[in-house]
Amino acid sequence: MQLLGSAPPRREIPLTLGCDFTFIVELADPTTGDPVDYPGTVRMDIDAPAGPTTINASIDANVATLVLPATICDKAGTTTRYRVLNVATDGTATPLVVGTFVRYD
């Protein structure tokens, strides 16, 4: 079997009823660790029980900030999956982080 590439990191996002959640994803060169500016856009796709939801990130050079409002967080269950994608200007989507939500309420 041939390795096709590195899988994106898997993370759990903790949620509490009525609370927003904000996190950042920094892009760095895998060899040197130096910051690399994001090409294109960054978004989070959420497989919410009520239907798919997309959150667009704000980008400042190599830092993408995602803000999930409580109205979306409150609808996510413990098995709800998400993925954060960098969509380049040519339309190529690269997964940055994947995972699920964990409820603490």
> Which superfamily is assigned to 10-103 in CATH?
Macroglobulin (MG2) domain (2.60.40.1930)
Dist CA 33 CA 79 (whole Å): 33
pTM (2 decimals)? 0.88
pLDDT in tens, the chain (105 residues): 455 667 899 999 999 999 999 999 999 988 899 999 998 999 999 999 889 999 999 999 999 999 999 999 999 988 899 999 999 999 999 999 999 999 998
Q: Kindly list the domain boundaries of the chain, sorted by start residue.
A: 10-103
The per-residue pLDDT for 6 is 79
Q: Give the DSSP letter of residue 38.
A: P
* CB 91 within 8 Å of CB 5: no
Distance separating alpha carbons of residues 26 and 62, to the nearest angstrom: 6
For residue 86, what pLDDT is reported? Answer: 95
User: Is there a contact between 68 and 79 (Cβ–Cβ < 8 Å)?
Assistant: no
